[in-house]
Amino acid sequence: MAVTHRLALVTAAATLVLILVGGLVTNTGAALAVPDWPSTFGYNMFLFPWSRMVGGVLYEHSHRLLGAAVGLLTLGLAAALWRRGGRLRTLGLVAALAVIAQGVLGGLRVVLVKDALAILHGGLAQAFFGLLVAIALLASRAPAPARAIEPSLRALTVLAAALVYVQIVFGALLTHAGRLDLHLAGAVLVFVLAPIVAARARRGGDPVAAPAARALLALLGVQLVLGVGSYLARFSPIWIPGEQLTMLLLPVAHRVVGSLILGAAVILALRAIAAEASAPVPVVCDPAFARRLVAEPRLEGS
């Protein structure tokens, strides 16, 4: 179990790095620096000369190589989870199919030059990261929740995770289609709901959910600063220290922190669901039978 858990963590960490590099590809305009796929300027992708990896080609080809590494890790994880059986086997299979689909989407984005495919590619990457976080948690030796939680909080944790993901998709729409309105509206909803969920989950005392809730609150604060900075850098004439470098790093960091927020929200949702599943079933006693039991005289010596 520990090996599977560690492999899931390594795959999730590699995926987070891949998302970071993908952000660099997008924000440097290097998405089409390599015009062919699955080859790279006619070379086998793995045999492309390192000496030619400069400028946008460095970002784009590094993204491809890292994507291949994540694909191999995911297939290895799926094989390890297959031996575990049950829901972990199913999740491993879903992860393997998702990483294959992600690779194909990335390639078609290059070949067909469609922004819609870039949006799908970015959205699937984040969903895939959330799936890996879920697998890592379910494959761990985390103790079962000690007590059930309120049904309202359980519903809110699931809603918060879904809303964070939708907000990430709105971010992709902003990047590739200029839909600032959707992203701002989604940000308002996330920053209203997520802190409430995190604060309530933190007070619950769950050994997994409580630290995840604290991390979520901290990440939300960082994300707010990054979001405001990204907005000012892109949509206002205000001078930003660092100029081009800052304009590159702010949205990339914003994207990565968004992924971490999604991961924390997924953990809270899964722990809430686990608390429901592990809650003791109340024993229901017929009131009429209870009254008869009390009223009947007990036998002497009993």
Rounded Cα distance between 10 and 21, Å, is 17
User: If you write DSSP's letter for every residue of 30-49 in order, what string do you get?
Assistant: -TTSS-SSSSBTTB-GGG--
- Side chain identity at 157, as an amino acid letter? T
Rounded Cα distance between 146 and 209, Å, is 11
Q: In this structure, what token pair is assigned to residue 89?
A: 């086997």
C-alpha distances in Å from residue 143, one per residue of 1, 2, 31, 146, 262: 14, 14, 43, 8, 22
Burial class (CB in 10 A: 0-12, 13-18, 19+), 77: buried
pLDDT attached to residue 291: 59
Q: What is the pTM of this model?
A: 0.88
Rounded Cα distance between 81 and 291, Å, is 53
Name the CA radius of gyration of the chain, rounded: 24
What average pLDDT does range 68-73 have in this prediction? 97
Phi/psi for 43 (5° steps) reads -85, 155
Model confidence pLDDT, tens digit, residues 229-282: 999 888 888 877 877 888 889 999 999 999 999 999 999 999 998 886 655 544
Model confidence pLDDT, tens digit, residues 271-288: 998 886 655 544 455 555
Phi/psi for 40 (5° steps) reads -125, 105
| Domain range annotation of the chain | 1-141, 144-279
